[in-house]
Amino acid sequence: MIVVNSGQSAYITSLGLATPPFRVEQRISGKILADRTAHMLSERSISVMRKLFAHPSISSRCFAVDDSETIFNEDPDSRIARFTRWSIDLASEAMIKALDGACVDIDAVTGLIVNTCTGYICPGISTYLIEKLGLPRNVRVYDLLGSGCGGAIPNIQLAEAFVRQADAGAVVSVSVEICSATFQMADDLSLIVSNTIFGDGAAAAVIQRKKIGLEIVDTASYFVPEDREHIRYIHKSGQLHNQLSVGLHKHVRKAAAQVVNSLLSRRSLKMADISHWALHTGGEKIINSIRDEIGLSEDQVAAARSILSDYGNMSSPTVYFVLNKLVETGMNKGDLCMMVAFGAGLSAHACLLKKV
């Protein structure tokens, strides 16, 4: 039995994606990184890095830089300037695509929610988007920080609540990450892994009451704060350093299973009722762990693997890329899709969607 939301539903009526034009094949980025940082690493770390870059799960990634030398020659001020420039540009591009796809004019946008975890500016990214795109000056805006790779779904949760209000109009949900703006290198496995998998990108969703696209049936979140040290940013000398534990996949798979099972139970659904799965890519080991923990088939994680191969892990926008892949592949009316994202906190989030 499928239980639907009571009252007025909210719908994802369009998606927009954006990546920077500087795309690098994984084998080439591995060579560049080795050439520039080998003197900082032990022989063991160099060996690990070579194995990671040789892994076939990622073929290329996109970076918000003008050339490969940029990230090696930045001071902190230049880095935050690059984050500011590219986060605004990519978020704008994704928003325009999403609004065009939904046939929504800029003047009809009543809410804007932007999440990121890879840079901090005040005022937030949202105010720059108001200026750049000419959004109404009385638009409601929210800037969300600190949710890590899972940030897109809490963003959706807030957007859905806003849309359910009277005369809500169109709300735009934007996830944008410039992961390369947190680049660091040292003889540290967390940093080596991070530099192997993360890329840059943005995604936007138009959320309305208009009954087209994907109905937001329900959402759920699950937090394990005592596990926060397994995946987080830490500050060293005033700069962000990514921290990932070797056993991260074990913790993520349990949290992901918990939030998925909770949502299915609340909706009186079984795994077999879900036709499509939009999983945050995380990495090869993460995808495999979640697949096995919640009992998915290889076909059900194919979209996540495809996005991982083409873009790596772009943090929070990535789950939208996977969802878009599923939409383009084809969904039938009435099909259910489960979005699953996870990240800092340690947190896991799920969003149940239905094709209308």
Q: Residue 136: give its domain's CATH number.
A: 3.40.47.10
Whether residues 94 and 193 fall in one domain = yes
Whether residues 194 and 267 fall in one domain = no
Q: pLDDT tens-digit profile of 172-195?
A: 999 999 999 999 999 999 999 999
Structure tokens at 182: 């947190």
**Token pair 């349990």 in the structure block, residue:** 254
Range of weakest confidence among 42-46, 164-168, 265-269: 164-168
Give the count of beta carbons closer than 10 Å to the beta carbon of residue 275. 16
- Report the run of H or E that residue 115 belongs to, with start and end: strand 109-116
Q: In this structure, is residue 134 part of a structural domain? A: yes
Q: Which of 52, 25, 41, 68 is nearest to 193 (CA)?
A: 52
Domain boundary among 183, 208, 233: 208
Instruction: Say if CB 156 and CB 338 are below 8 A apart.
Output: no
Instruction: Say if CB 197 and CB 136 are below 8 A apart.
Output: no
Distance CA 20, CA 202 (A): 9
The pLDDT of residue 1: 30
Whether residues 138 and 172 fall in one domain = yes
Whether residues 144 and 53 fall in one domain = yes
352 burial level (CB within 10 Å; 0-12, 13-18, 19+)? buried
Give the count of beta carbons closer than 10 Å to the beta carbon of residue 56. 8
Q: Which residue type occupies 301?
A: V
Q: Report residue 231's pLDDT band, with 50, 70 and 90 as the boundaries.
A: confident
Q: Which residues of 150-186 are buried (b: 16+ CB within 10 A; e: fewer)?
A: bbbbbbbbbbbebbeeeebbbbbbbbbbbbbbbbbbe
Q: In this structure, is residue 121 part of a structural domain? A: yes
Q: pLDDT tens-digit profile of 302-323?
A: 999 999 999 999 999 999 999 9
Which pTM value belongs to this model? Answer: 0.95
Whether residues 92 and 240 fall in one domain = no
What residue numbers bound the domain in which 251 lies? 214-355
Whether residues 220 and 193 fall in one domain = no
Instruction: Say if CB 62 and CB 20 are below 8 A apart.
Output: yes
Give the count of beta carbons closer than 10 Å to the beta carbon of residue 207. 29
As for how many domains the chain has, the answer is 2
pLDDT score of 125 more than 60 = yes
Q: In this structure, is residue 1 part of a structural domain? A: no
Q: 289 or 235: which carries more pLDDT confidence?
A: 289
Q: In this structure, is residue 135 part of a structural domain? A: yes
